[in-house]
Amino acid sequence: MSSKSFERIRLDYDGDVAILTLNRPEKLNALDSKTRMELKQALDEVEQKARVLIITGSGKAFAAGADINELLQRTSLDSMEAAKLGSELFNRIEELDIPVIAAINGYALGGGCELAMACDIRIASRRAKFGQPEINLALIPGAGGTQRLPRLVGIGMAKKLILTGEIIDAETALRIGLVEEVVEEDRLMDRAAEIAEKIAEKSPVAVKFAKKAINSARSMSLPDGLKYELTLFSMLFSTHDAREGMRAFLEKRKPEFRGN
């Protein structure tokens, strides 16, 4: 396992899996500009070096949102500045070539919940808590909450959560479709690693295309999405990995994927 230290985050590698830990526990991993800058740097690196990324938090929070001290310094925001608060970063996570698993260890509030929603798969510890409490600050979610939450949980539930600012527990998050699994606290990282390793064994190019195709369902019409799926599906037929995958099946052996 190799590690790289930043000031606000930690980046570890375990084989092909990168583990990024938000590491400002005394402020419940509130996402200040330094954290966001370090996250951006880490993403550029892991996209080159890893096959799967796990994002988690240290201490009792995943992330308790944008740093409210920093938000208060802002008298007004133009849309460029607002996007830099989280939207651009979270879009980058969503569009990263490799899959991203959120291992949600505790509070995922405001920008923290938005960060989790930008990840591809969400695994929560039983003690995790979720919410979009921006309304209590007379704000609204500003990094995807009004767009990604209804896509995951439906419009009515998203309105209930965003308009009341209510905080929900992990079991409720599972029931409404905000997370994919809930596990005991001490199993969280092992379970996230199990899923990551399962994905890391597949062909990276097929994994990347599958993520791209599924992401396109958010913005494309069904006919356009089906055409896009077919294009990506067809492209895979010219890869070494698809030949190898099909051959290995017929020869009853484990495939050896190269990523092209």
Q: Is the dihedral of CA 42, 79, 99, 250 positive or negative?
A: negative
Rounded to whole angstroms, the Cα distance separating 199 from 129 reads 27
Nearer to ligand HXC among residue 67 and residue 229 (C-beta): 67
Nearest approach, Cβ of residue 113 and ligand HXC (Å): 8
255 binds ligand HXC, rule: CB under 6 A: no
Binding to ligand HXC, residues 132-171 (CB under 6 A): 133-134, 137, 142-143
Catalytic residue among 114, 181, 184, 229: 114
Rounded to whole angstroms, the Cα distance separating 112 from 63 reads 4
Binding to ligand HXC, residues 33-92 (CB under 6 A): 64-69, 85-86
Contact with ligand HXC (CB under 6 A): which of 18, 28, 119, 213?
28
Task: State the maximum Cα–Cα separation within the chain, in Å, rounded to a whole number.
Answer: 65
Give the HSE-up count for residue 164: Cα atoms under 13 Å, Cβ half-sphere.
11
CA nearest to 36, candidates 2, 59, 70, 3:
70
Is residue 171 part of the annotated active site? The answer reads: no
Rounded to whole angstroms, the Cα distance separating 165 from 163 reads 6
110 binds ligand HXC, rule: CB under 6 A: yes
- Size of interface with ligand HXC, in residues (CB under 6 A): 21
Which range touches ligand HXC (CB under 6 A), out of 129-137, 182-190, 222-230, 246-254?
A: 129-137
Nearest approach, Cβ of residue 53 and ligand HXC (Å): 19
106 binds ligand HXC, rule: CB under 6 A: no
Is residue 114 part of the annotated active site? The answer reads: yes
Cα distances from 85 to residues 139, 196, 234, in angstroms, run: 14, 28, 38
Binding to ligand HXC, residues 195-254 (CB under 6 A): none
What lies within 8 Å, CB to CB, of 218 at 6+ separation is 151
Which range touches ligand HXC (CB under 6 A), out of 130-138, 146-154, 181-189, 220-228?
A: 130-138
Q: What is the CA radius of gyration of the chain?
A: 19
By the 8 A CB rule, do 22 and 7 touch? no
Residue numbers annotated as active site: 114, 134
> Which residues are at the interface with ligand HXC (CB under 6 A)?
27-28, 30-31, 64-69, 85-86, 107, 109-111, 133-134, 137, 142-143
